[in-house]
Amino acid sequence: MDPMLGSPQPRPSHPYKTLIMSKKSRSKLWFLVHSWLALPIWFFVLIVCVTGTLAVISQEIVWLANPQMRASQPEGDAPLLSYDQIIAAIKQAEPQILVESISRPDESHFALDVEVTYPDGRSVVVYVNPYSGVIQGTAPQFNFRAFTRALHGWWLVPFTNGYSWGWYLVSFLSLPLLASLITGLVVYKRFWKGFLRPTLRLRHGARIFWGDFHRLSGIWSIWFIAVISVTSTWFLIEAFMFDNQITISTAPVAPVVPRESVPLTADGSPAPMISLETAIREAKQRIPGLEDSFVSLPANAYSYLSVGGRSWYPLMFHTAEINPYTGDVAVTRLLSDRSGLELVTESMRPLHTGDFGGLWIKLIWFFFGLLLSMMVLSGLLIWTKRTALATANALKRSHKRPRTADAAQATRRDTTEVSQ
């Protein structure tokens, strides 16, 4: 155990002193690195952890706060409406409205998110009941989910040319986080014992309590800290790659409907499009087992209609681009189309946010996010309590003693103080 973290075990005094000393000083070095990693930026790290934790369940928070976002079933077992029926119901309620996309959130207690535009040019998301097609409300101006994500993800720094510097600032924290995990495990020798004999001493003062807490939550969060730091390192790399026009994408060139396959009409009215149900049927024929969790209507006369949903591998989507005039499936993007590298990198974002398996996964991510935030805080408290005292003592004594002796004295005192 590391002596500086308040080890419950007495340190043995061996005759092989030199060996022990070098081992000790090495572990001390590791410890120093560990305690210095997040230190100069602890508050920033803390806020990023807290906002990230909130962002995980932001959709659920909005659901709690805003009843319009809930999908209540009108009668006992009313069936879900098809996307065509949803659009028909919207058109009936507000004939002027134009629908751009419909998406069915993963969790069935959420209403459909429908992107629409109004004749006055507003482009908003409305919440639509999946059973009745009733527009339950408009997403509020203050988008809590987008806000927490923006705060967590790029510190609200706007994107102008490529990624914002806020994105780099936040994702750069992945490096000290990763290093904290590694050095933490090195200084906490035989950490696996902590699983068998969890220690959390409540009655030995705050210093001991926070030390125990830091270690205990640390070992149970190894996997989570690893996931978060590795995925955020990817975000850093991703931004760097994008800004330097490096791509690993194997996706085909963004498809556009060829001019000659868009029909002309004699009377100048828009060419008739296939129904969404037909499009979905065509797509499902091409891709057996395709989920239709979203449809995106063509954004102009030369763009395809897209249908997609999660594949059997919950971290990734299958999509199909369908010619809206003929129903031909023009392009598909399936799990099997991704390169091995893409399978890894495209999994990074869902792994980071915990948004891939419904509410329970999100709650697990939320819990460990909270724990990680508390670890940053407890690490800071340990450091403050130890160093503040040591510094104060050193300052007091420095009036009487030469500096070198004083430093040694302070170190010794520091060590004894924490290892009690």
**Interface with another protein: number of residues (CB under 8 A):** 97
Write a three-state SS string for the chain.
CCHHHCCCCCCCCCCCHHHHHHHHHHHHHHHHHHHHHCHHHHHHHHHHHHHHHHHHCHHHHHHHHCHHHECCCCCCCCCCCCHHHHHHHHHHHCCCCEEEEEECCCCCCECEEEEEECCCCCEEEEEECCCCCCEEEECCCCCHHHHHHHHHHHCCCCCCCCCCHHHHHHHHCHHHHHHHHHHHHHHCCCCCHHHHCCCCCCCCHHHHHHHHHHHHHHHHCHHHHHHHHHHHHHHHHHHHHHHCCCCCCCCCCCCCCCHHHCCCCCCCCCCCCCCHHHHHHHHHHHCCCCCCCEEECCCCCCCCEEEEEECCCCCCEEEEEECCCCCCEEEEECHHHCCHHHHHHHHHHHHHHCCCCCHHHHHHHHHHHHHHHHHHHHHHHHHHHHHHHHHHHHHHHCCCCCHHHHHHHHHHHHHHHHCC
Evaluate the CA torsion angle 336, 337, 339, 344 in order and state its sign. negative
CB of 39 to another protein, least distance (A): 6
Report 346-365 residues binding another protein (CB under 8 A): 349
Question: 101 has which bridge partners?
Answer: 115, 296
Decide: is 301 part of the binding site for another protein (CB under 8 A).
Answer: yes
Residue 303 within binding range of another protein, rule CB under 8 A? yes
Contacts with another protein in 260-289 (CB under 8 A)? 262, 264-271
Q: Which is nearer to another protein, 12 or 119 (CB)?
A: 119
Q: Does 163 bind another protein (CB under 8 A)?
A: yes
Can you tell me which of 124, 200, 341, 405 binds another protein, judged by CB under 8 A? 124
Whole-number minimum distance, CB 221 to another protein, in Å? 23
Identify which of residues 220 and 240 has a Cβ nearer to another protein in the complex: 240
Burial class (CB in 10 A: 0-12, 13-18, 19+), 180: buried
Out of 253, 312, 360, 402, which residue is the one contacting another protein (CB under 8 A)? Answer: 253
Q: Does 417 bind another protein (CB under 8 A)?
A: no
- Asked if residue 103 lies in contact with residue 293, where contact means CB atoms within 8 angstroms, the answer is yes
Q: How far is the CB of 34 from another protein (least distance, A)?
A: 12
Q: Which of 14, 189, 408, 416 binds another protein (CB under 8 A)?
A: 408
Give least dist CB 77 to another protein, A: 29
Between 13 and 300, CB nearer to another protein:
300
Minimum distance from CB of 197 to another protein (Å)? 28
Should residue 400 be labelled a site residue for another protein when binding is judged by CB under 8 A?
Answer: no
Question: Closest distance between another protein and the C-beta of residue 374, in Å?
Answer: 19
Stretch that binds another protein, among 127-135, 220-228, 334-342, 395-403 (CB under 8 A): 395-403
State how far Cα 374 lies from the chain centre: 18
Question: Looking only at residues 11 through 50 of this chain, which bind another protein when binding is defined by CB under 8 A?
Answer: 32, 35, 39-44, 47
Q: Which one of 71-79, 154-162, 206-214, 368-376 is the stretch in contact with another protein (CB under 8 A)?
A: 154-162
Site membership for another protein, residue 405 (CB under 8 A): no
- Closest approach of Cβ 390 to another protein, in Å? 6
- If one asks whether residue 300 binds another protein (CB under 8 A), the answer comes out as yes
Is residue 339 at the binding interface for another protein, with CB under 8 A as the rule?
no
Looking at 13-21, 172-180, 189-197, 236-244, which segment touches another protein (CB under 8 A)?
236-244
- Which residues, 165 to 184, sit near another protein by CB under 8 A? 166
344 contacts another protein (rule: CB under 8 A): no
Minimum Å gap between C-beta 367 and another protein is: 22
- Compute the least distance from the CB of residue 336 to another protein, in Å: 15
Task: Find the part of the chain contacting another protein (CB under 8 A) among 18-26, 74-82, 197-205, 259-267.
Answer: 259-267
Decide: 44 and 173 in contact? Cβ < 8 Å: yes
Please answer whether residues 43 and 377 qualify as being in contact, where contact means their C-beta atoms are separated by less than 8 angstroms. Answer: no
